Structure 1
């Protein structure tokens, strides 16, 4: 069974959760967790802030949450840069093997 990892972005809005983006990190659990460790944010909800980043593992079509960060827009901006850089690095490693 194929396993993949992703980071999903969501906002808490008055009617519930609004999912608006996702980054596919590949199939390596260790790499995915290392990428997520580099991100800025807090485990606990931030007052007045509702951006959530969730690291998930998808096994056979079923998604399981591994970790969650809550962040503000400035953190999100930096996190997107980190994720993009790390996805590029990971894709280069996969290309070389």
Structure 2
């Protein structure tokens, strides 16, 4: 069973919500939850225009885990958090091989 997590960005259109981007977060549920819990936004309302969803894929079947809506300004802050979190997850380790921490 293959498991993965990703962020799905959607915008309301006359035909309903249409996704326009996604960020793959990897297979670590804890990382995905912690990152999503830091996003700017609120519980979605039917009138909101921008949605951010935390999605889980198990054997290629997507399931929405959490969802928030946001303003354009909140989305900007959230995207910065996503990129920073993915960068840290992919590039930084606790120690750099010389006994010095690479991330505080």
Q: Same fold per TM (> 0.5)?
A: yes
Give every structure 1 segment of 4 or more consecutive aligned residues whose post-TM-superposition deviation is greater than 6 Å.
none
Matches within 5 A, 1:6-21: 6-21=6-21
In the other structure, the counterpart of 1:62 is 61
In the other structure, the counterpart of 1:42 is 42
CA–CA distance in structure 2, aligned partners of residues 93 and 61 of structure 1: 29
Normalized against structure 1, the TM-score is what?
A: 0.90
CA–CA distance in structure 1, aligned partners of residues 46 and 35 of structure 2: 22
Structure 2: where are the runs of 5+ without partners? 96-104
Contact 1:46–1:71 (CA<8 Å) still a contact in 2?
Answer: no
Could you report, residue by residue, the CA deviation over 1:25-77 in whole angstroms, capped at 9, with x for unpaired residues? 00000000000001000013275x41000001000010011100100000000
CA–CA distance in structure 2, aligned partners of residues 37 and 46 of structure 1: 21
Q: Count the aligned residue pairs.
A: 94
Q: Which moved more, 1:78-87 or 1:8-17?
A: 8-17
- Alpha carbons of 1:24 and 1:42: their partners in 2 closer, same or farther (altered >3 Å)? same
Structure 1: where are the runs of 5+ without partners? none
More helix by share: 1
Contact 1:46–1:70 (CA<8 Å) still a contact in 2?
Answer: no
Deviation at 1:15, TM superposition (A): 1.2
